[in-house]
Amino acid sequence: MSLGLAVFIGMLLPLQALINAALGRQTFGPLFAALASFAVGTLVLLLWWWAAKPVFEVAALVRVPWWAWTGGVIGAVYVAAATLLIPRMGAAPLICLVVFGQLIGSLLLDHFGVLHARQPIDGMRMLGAALVVVGALLVVRPWQSPAG
């Protein structure tokens, strides 16, 4: 179930970028489209959270370290950049490069145990990373000039 859900979510990310790019073209540009995407997403998450009948304690918010709020910044940069880049490079190259960046970042975060238990880089992980790099290169083809 978890693997299938992860694949499904991954399949939706290029669609989200394409939808946001279309919204940007039809309205006020990619930053507006990213803002609209976050506004709609915020509303959906707020309704979902309320439907789950959460326990809300203000004291819990006070105990949260400052850096725990930075995930929204990263999400905003991703959505805005993807909205801006997808018309220039296409869905497959964008997602391949994003996955490549995620892989490198994930390996480093795991290796150094940033915010979770340390999982050192080993030979199998390096082989897997190399295969992803080869796959990304075959899709992106940086050695070719862009078509059109």
- Does residue 136 contact residue 99 with C-beta atoms inside 8 Å? yes
d(CA 139, CA 94): 10
pTM for this entry? 0.84
142 confidence band (pLDDT: 50, 70, 90) = confident
Q: Look at residue 1 in the predicted model and tell me its pLDDT.
A: 86
Q: What is the pLDDT of residues 5-44, one digit of tens each?
A: 999 999 999 999 999 999 999 999 999 999 999 999 999 9
- Does residue 37 contact residue 16 with C-beta atoms inside 8 Å? yes
- Does residue 92 contact residue 86 with C-beta atoms inside 8 Å? no
Distance from the first to the final alpha carbon of the chain: 41
Q: What is the pLDDT of residues 89-131, one digit of tens each?
A: 999 999 999 998 999 999 999 999 999 999 999 999 999 999 9
